[in-house]
Structure 1
Amino acid sequence: MTTRRHGTGRHSTGRHGGKLAHLAPERTLRRLELQVTRRLDGLLGGEHLGLLPGPGTELAEARLYQPGEDDVRHMDWAVTARTTTPHVRDLIADHELEAWALLDLTPSMDFGTATMTKRDLAVAALAAVGFLTVRLGDRAGAYLLHTDGTRRWPARTGKAALYALLHAALDSQSADDGTPRTPTRRPAPSPDLATAISSLDRGQTRRGLRVVISDFLAPDGTGPIPTGTPTGHDHPARPDWERPLRRLTARHQVLAIEIVDPRELDLPDVGLVEMTDPETGTVHEIVLNRRVRERYAAAATAQRDHIRAALRRAGTHHLVLRTDRDWIADIARFALRQRRAAGRHATTAGARP
């Protein structure tokens, strides 16, 4: 089984609730904002709401010390001595920060077999990052990766600017727009994720949060696992986006949001099917018998394992969102895990002699 993009057959998504871009954009964005602010605001409280916790520099009010949760390095000894009760002084994260996202809008992101396409879920993830960023006046910008190039959207404050960014993402050209494809003609080379990450790294040097939203699959089908490499043997080649992502992580706090559709992990038992590669337009007729489905599932699992390993080596935080799951709940669980981990790390560091 070759390792071209798993699950990139063209599927109709209209029967699954409709694509976000086909709905009224203003209504869609307002619904997204309500979902994000209502559900995440209640779960992720704090002076500076965000997906990844980080220290600030501005002193806040003193409060009682919580054993096992607070960093002893933040102990307010003057208040502690005056009240004879341990107190810590919180740090408010710096305001007027910049969060930049790289949004993958290449043709493979148009695939979807559940409640939405990967593209729509990616836009929803961008909306979550954006709404949490502009909530306290921080600036949010983005790089939009299309088949015809990378478009830079400048970082601005306010909901109006964020809405304009999300409109641009929703209105971008779709692989399922009905345009006929000619698989016999070799498509023009399109910018890849590695190039886009390098552009983000070079173009934005001010330290801050960087979010890469993609399926992390190569458009030419090579991916992290070279064709012919047996699953579980040898060491497959590393993806070309790993090195620029590692450079980006060296200077910024980076969150990688991997977008996955369930049919990219396993195939149904439906017999003969036609699959179209949205990147090239190539059509394949495949009989989905038990052997093919088992080999596909094994290759897909190995591919995702190598993507996860590459992100771990690059030093990024890794969040997986699926088109068949409650993505807001997944974001909330991820953020809460990160905050608990940050608290444990701070407690361990403060307990060292």
Structure 2
Amino acid sequence: MSRDMLGLLRRLRRDPRGDLAADATGTPSPSSGHGELPLSANRAEPALSKLQLLVTRKLDGLLQGDYLGLLPGPGTEVGESREYLPGDDVRRMDWPVTARTTIPHVRQTDADRELETWLAVDLSASLDFGTAACLKRDLAVAAAAAVSHLTVRGGNRIGAVIGTGEQITRMPAKAGRKDAQGLLRALAHTPVRPGRTDLGGLIDSLNRPPRRRGLTVVISDFMVAPGQWARPMRKLGVRHDVLAIEIVDPRELELSDAGVMEFVDPETGRLHEVHTGDAQLRARYAAAAAAQRAEITSALRAAGAAHLRLRTDRDWLLDIVRFVAAQRHARTRGTTR
């Protein structure tokens, strides 16, 4: 079902007028390029609505109450215990600790705070590519929809910076699902522009102006050298919780034996002819791709960012569910609250 929805997003975005720029099998036409139009308003709404419904059904309830306040104070999250002092509310007595120590203790609580989430979404031309169930660009929009659904509740706010070519668009953080849906519509309607997004500058734009601590999510294929974005990512991780969502297509990891093929760099327009029947060439390509992904993983780990890899040939919702479950298990050390 999720693959069908991403395919619908792909086809609608490539043909807002109803004449699909694809062949009968749904494969993008080679003639489509930087001039593609974004989703039209009347056709984008049904696709985005179905995507939201799909995300809601699969992910609803996974992260409810799953982040803590940063300051002590009145709230519902259990904190540390301390010795009882005259004037303390007896309803907060921590009886298990009191019984063990024979000294009266009260349980402190952490204040509930609204969460501010910022998305840095890389929509450069390299994401307008896909050889499996969807384009990487559509998977990036779907990932943003999932993050939005999991974080926007209870007065939480979400904003975004969107990078397309040399242009960076900022959308202020707002509360409520209506504004979050407007953000997703803006992502879906963003046109493809030639050129490569400055990923380091895009990430660094989340550091200016300084914001209170929150959650930042970087969505990209990270197809630039880590030296260009590793430092801004580390700087971002000093103050915020960082999640990096890496978008990958299987043809970026290995080549299939399909004879002589033409490859066009979507960001520069350069054309290369490659003889994919050469087994040694395919082996070198796979080794280089594995080394590149290992370098990306190492840079993200050094920045202290959580790393989620989504592939266009896999069930992206299942990967998100597994990631959330693993993060919860690591945070609670396998226990439940």
* Shared fold per TM-score greater than 0.5: yes
* Deviation, structure 1 residue 84: 7.3
Tell me the SS of whatever aligns to 1:153.
strand
Partner of 1:207: 213
1:29-68 to structure 2, matched below 5 A, reads 29-42=48-61, 44=62, 46-48=64-66, 53-55=67-69, 57=72, 58-60=74-76
Partner of 1:144: 162
Q: In structure 2, give the amino acid aligned to 1:278.
A: P
Q: In structure 1, give the amino acid aligned to 2:95.
A: T
1:276-315 to structure 2, matched below 5 A, reads 276-289=264-277, 290-315=279-304
Residue 105 in 1 paired to residue 123 in 2?
yes
What is the aligned-residue identity percentage?
A: 47
Partner of 1:78: 93
- How many residue pairs get aligned? The number is 292
Partner of 2:203: 197
Tell me the SS of whatever aligns to 2:218.
strand
Aligned partner of 2:180 among 150, 162, 168? 162
Tell me the SS of whatever aligns to 2:263.
strand
Contact 1:47-1:93 at 8 Å conserved across structures:
no
Partner of 2:14: none
Give RMSD over aligned pairs: 3.3
1:171-182 to structure 2, matched below 5 A, reads 171-174=189-192
Q: In structure 2, give the amino acid aligned to 1:60.
A: T
Contact 2:93-2:107 at 8 Å conserved across structures:
no
CA distance 1:302–1:244, shift in 2 (3 Å): same
Partner of 1:118: 136
Structure ranking higher on relative contact order (CA contacts 8 Å, 6+ apart): 1
Aligned partner of 2:251 among 251, 263, 271? 263
Q: In structure 1, give the amino acid aligned to 2:251.
A: R
Q: In structure 2, give the amino acid aligned to 1:144.
A: I
Q: What is the alpha-carbon distance in structure 2 between the residues aligned to residue 212 and residue 280 of structure 1?
A: 23
Q: What is the alpha-carbon distance in structure 1 between the residues aligned to residue 317 and residue 163 of structure 2?
A: 24
CA distance 1:172–1:339, shift in 2 (3 Å): same
Contact 1:13-1:117 at 8 Å conserved across structures:
no
* Deviation, structure 1 residue 332: 1.1
Q: What is the alpha-carbon distance in structure 1 between the residues aligned to residue 24 and residue 267 of structure 2?
A: 21
Contact 2:329-2:335 at 8 Å conserved across structures:
no
Tell me the SS of whatever aligns to 1:202.
coil
Tell me the SS of whatever aligns to 1:325.
coil
Q: In structure 2, give the amino acid aligned to 1:111.
A: F
* Deviation, structure 1 residue 39: 1.1
Q: In structure 2, give the amino acid aligned to 1:153.
A: M
Tell me the SS of whatever aligns to 1:96.
coil
Gaps of 5+ in 2: 1-20, 29-36, 83-90, 101-105
CA distance 1:205–1:81, shift in 2 (3 Å): closer
* Deviation, structure 1 residue 328: 1.1
CA distance 1:61–1:242, shift in 2 (3 Å): closer
TM-score by length of 1: 0.74
Q: What is the alpha-carbon distance in structure 1 between the residues aligned to residue 125 and residue 299 of structure 2?
A: 23
Question: Which piece of structure 1 moves more, 190-199 or 316-325?
Answer: 190-199
Q: What is the alpha-carbon distance in structure 2 between the residues aligned to residue 147 and residue 207 of structure 1?
A: 29
Q: In structure 2, give the amino acid aligned to 1:270.
A: A
